[in-house]
Amino acid sequence: MKKEDCIFCKIANGEIPSKTLYEDEAFRVILDLGPATRGHALILPKNHFDNLYELSDEAASGVMKLARKMAGIMTEKLNCDGFNLVQNNGETAGQTVFHFHMHLIPRYKGDGQRIKIGWIPGEPDQEELEEIKKTIAE
Ligand code: AMP
Ligand code: ZN
């Protein structure tokens, strides 16, 4: 299903041109217009899902298979030194385009980006970890 007025629906389905690296019946992989590094790309499902919560099981497994395949090809062709998969859900988590997408970010020694998402590590005690575990898993 496509969503009216969704720019990534239009790009994924070829209504708006993009620098396409790969396409099949379910996905299009395009170059990001505001890349973190050389070759930063996005996997877009052709069907519309707002985010991870909405993603179908089929699309979810397809995305990871495709990410693995693209990471291999891009690493070989771009000769990068590492690779980040990044996927944001919701404004609070930094999502700016509300059509599910997976970032494919080749990493190069000295590329000037943060080595990884910078978070300040917490210092939970065992009691707090236990409470969180119970909240999620029981
Ligand atoms: P996010 O912040 O995870 O929602 O990522 C949105 C990404 O989409 C950003 O990295 C943007 O640079 C990228 N972007 C936005 N519009 C376009 C577009 N028309 N074509 C390619 N990339 C885009
Ligand atoms: Zn869409």
Supply 95's token pair: 């999502």
In 62-96, which positions are buried (b, 16+ CB within 10 angstroms) versus exposed (e)? bbeebbeebbeebbeeeebeebbeebbbeeeeebe
- Give, for all 138 residues of the chain, the pLDDT tens digit: 888 899 999 999 999 999 999 999 999 999 999 999 999 999 999 999 999 999 999 999 999 999 999 999 999 999 999 999 999 999 999 999 999 999 999 999 999 998 877 889 999 999 999 999 999 999
Give dist(CA 44, CA 125) in Å, integer.
40
- Are 113 and 43 in contact, with CB atoms under 8 Å apart? no
d(CA 81, ligand 1 centre) in Å: 23
33 lines ligand 1 (CB under 6 A): yes
Distance 45 CA to ligand 2 centre (A): 8
- Hey, whose CA ends up nearest to atom 22 of ligand 1? 32
